[in-house]
Amino acid sequence: MPGSVDTNFLFTLGEVFRLIRVYADKEAARYGITRAQWAVLTKVERNEGLKQTELAEQLDIQPITLTRLIDKLCDNGWIERRGDENDRRVNRLYLKKAAHPLLGKLAGLRSELTATALEGISPADAHRLLTQLESIKENVRNAIQSPASESSRKEQRYG
C-alpha cells in the first residue's frame, strides 16, 4: 500500500467500516431486516433486560432513532418492552420466542460476512488482526479519557 501509515490508517479503517456496513445492509435485506435492526436484536440477545437508554448509548444512536427501530421490531414480534418494576419511566427490552429462528439465520449470515471479509487471510493473521484492533480500541478509549496535553506528548510508535 503506497503512502505512510499516518496518511492512510484512519481513511482505510473508515472505508473498511463503510463497506462492511453497506455489505451487511445488502445481505440482511434477504431476511427482511436492516443492519440497524440486526444490531438491536443482537445486543438484546446478549443482554436481555437492557434499558432502552443503555442500548441507545451502546449503539451510539439517538434515543428517538432507537425507539423507531424497537417499534418495528415489536411490530414484527421479535422484541418486547417491559416496564421496570422500580421505575415506571424505564422500558427494558426482551427477545420474544419468534426472534430465535431469525437470530440463528443472522448468526449464519454474520459468519458469511466475516468469511468474505477475511478471505485470503490466514486464521492466525485474522486472530492477530483482531487482537491489534482490540489494542487500537483500547488506545483510543484511553486517549478519550486522558487530558488533551497528555495524549499529544506521546511519541509515535508506528512505521
Residue-range definition of the domain harbouring residue 73: 7-121
Evaluate whether residue 159 is within a structural domain. Answer: no
Evaluate whether residue 143 is within a structural domain. Answer: no
Task: Compute φ and ψ for 104, nearest 5 degrees.
Answer: -65, -45
Evaluate whether residue 41 is within a structural domain. Answer: yes
Evaluate whether residue 67 is within a structural domain. Answer: yes
What's the CATH number where 74 sits? 1.10.10.10
**pTM score of the predicted model:** 0.78
Task: Compute φ and ψ for 26, nearest 5 degrees.
Answer: -60, -45
pLDDT digits (tens, 9 = 90+) for 19-73: 999 999 999 999 999 999 999 999 999 999 999 999 999 999 999 999 999 999 9
Residues near 117 by beta carbon (within 8 Å), at least 6 away in sequence:
20
Neighbours of 112 (CB within 10 A): 11
Evaluate whether residue 52 is within a structural domain. Answer: yes
Number of domains in the chain: 1
Evaluate whether residue 148 is within a structural domain. Answer: no
pLDDT of residue 80: 96
